[in-house]
């Protein structure tokens, strides 16, 4: 207990998301300590930055893209060769242009069009695991289904699907160490762009590489920073949210009995998982002018970490914030962002997860079948290493 408390105290006094002591097990206490400071907290780590941990502060910053800019990147520290991912790491008007090009793949109409295929893919993945009677749901479900859906919605090839997961892991490790990852990822994306310029296969990607803006094709550099965002964000958040919800259901038979048979409860459970187990603990911005938060002035040019994981458990915003509740009503969590950077793929991600839950509703009860290890990739992405379960009473 003494060791854990000293770790928490150290991280509250000098927060560092890359500190080995910042883990999913310590994060709740660290977040609480940061919130209870009330005001923005300054850390000297990584050249110095401010942490916002109260819901009202994080919400306001997410909505205020004019004073809290994304154009210096939301990831920090950054890898040596890291480009800015679109549209998240851009401000208007570049952000607006990128988002208009990316929106068609993930708009409501596009998601409705692929819903039957999502249901088919969920069945193809889940049913063999249920028949077998046991599975590692991370290796065999939560990592595979989102990548398969990417192929359907974006048009990535089978070869790209096989590489994206490993390249994403390399990306997070490179950011944390200041290494390099972009040449490998760019090579994969260039191969996908070249393939898409061949015979038109009807995919969004084939259409994107043929799009003209102001009479000119979209440059390859811009195609890459959009495609890397589709590749990473298109599977990472859904993968981690699905895993944490299934972990919770496998460990709580009573909750599973309430959630799985009821379509409304399935949706509520997705959002409550996003709130309690934020798949991305934080992002960052840079102030474009002096900004007063509470009674603290953040000077112009300050790096500001927006601690979404802490804000999502703020007792000033959520009653009984540590409890998993299906009756919270409209989602107010911040895990999918706010304002102009609200997650483009939110509807697609929810639809994938509810398709999995619908399949499990018809399966024998699911139980945990071994230890579950969680960790933060790149100090911020809440990952499950494995999720062993058994089906049957």
| pLDDT tens-digit readout, 114-155 | 999 999 999 999 999 999 999 999 999 999 999 999 999 999
pTM of the model: 0.95
Domains of the chain: 2-391 (1.10.630.10)
CA distance 60 to 48: 22
The per-residue pLDDT for 210 is 97
The per-residue pLDDT for 103 is 95
- Quick check: 330 and 351 in contact, CB under 8 A? no
Characterize the bridge pairing of strands 381-384 and 296-298: unpaired
Q: Which residues of the chain have pLDDT under 50?
A: 1
Characterize the bridge pairing of strands 381-384 and 374-377: antiparallel
Instruction: With H, G, I as helix, E, B as strand and everything else as coil, classify residue 372.
Output: coil
């Amino acid at each position: 207990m003494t060791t854990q408390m000293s770790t928490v105290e150290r991280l509250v006094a000098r927060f560092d998301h890359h500190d080995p002591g910042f883990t999913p097990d310590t994060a709740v206490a660290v977040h609480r300590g940061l919130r209870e400071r009330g005001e923005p907290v300054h850390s000297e780590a990584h050249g110095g930055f401010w942490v916002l941990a109260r819901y009202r502060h994080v919400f306001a910053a997410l909505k205020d893209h004019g004073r809290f800019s994304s154009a210096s990147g939301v990831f920090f520290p950054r890898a040596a060769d890291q480009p800015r991912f679109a549209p998240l790491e851009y401000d208007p008007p570049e952000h607006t242009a990128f988002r208009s090009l990316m929106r068609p793949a993930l708009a409501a109409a596009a998601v409705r069009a692929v819903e039957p295929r999502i249901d088919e893919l969920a069945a193809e993945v889940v049913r063999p695991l249920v028949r077998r009677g046991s599975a590692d749901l991370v290796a065999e479900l939560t990592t595979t289904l989102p990548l398969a859906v990417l192929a359907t919605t974006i048009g990535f090839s089978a070869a790209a699907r096989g590489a994206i997961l490993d390249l994403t892991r390399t990306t997070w490790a490179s950011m944390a160490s200041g290494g390099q990852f972009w040449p490998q990822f760019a090579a994969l994306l260039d191969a996908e762009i070249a393939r898409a310029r061949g015979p038109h296969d009807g995919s969004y990607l084939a259409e994107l590489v043929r799009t003209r803006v102001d009479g000119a094709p979209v440059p390859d550099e811009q195609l890459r920073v959009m495609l890397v965002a589709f590749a990473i964000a298109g599977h990472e958040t859904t993968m981690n949210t699905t895993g944490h919800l299934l972990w919770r259901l496998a460990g709580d038979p009573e909750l599973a009995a309430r959630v799985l048979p009821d379509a409304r409860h399935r949706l509520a459970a997705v959002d409550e998982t996003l709130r309690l187990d934020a798949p991305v603990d934080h992002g960052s911005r840079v102030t474009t002018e002096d900004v007063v938060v509470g009674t603290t002035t953040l000077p112009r040019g300050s790096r500001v970490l927006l601690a979404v994981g802490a804000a999502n458990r703020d007792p000033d915003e959520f009653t009984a914030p540590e409890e998993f509740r299906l009756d919270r009503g409209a989602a107010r969590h911040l895990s999918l962002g706010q304002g102009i950077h609200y997650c483009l793929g939110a509807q697609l991600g929810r639809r994938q997860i509810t398709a999995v839950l619908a399949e499990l509703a018809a399966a024998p009860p699911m139980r945990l079948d071994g230890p579950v290890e969680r960790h933060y990739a790149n100090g911020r992405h809440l990952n499950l290493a494995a999720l062993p379960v058994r089906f049957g009473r």
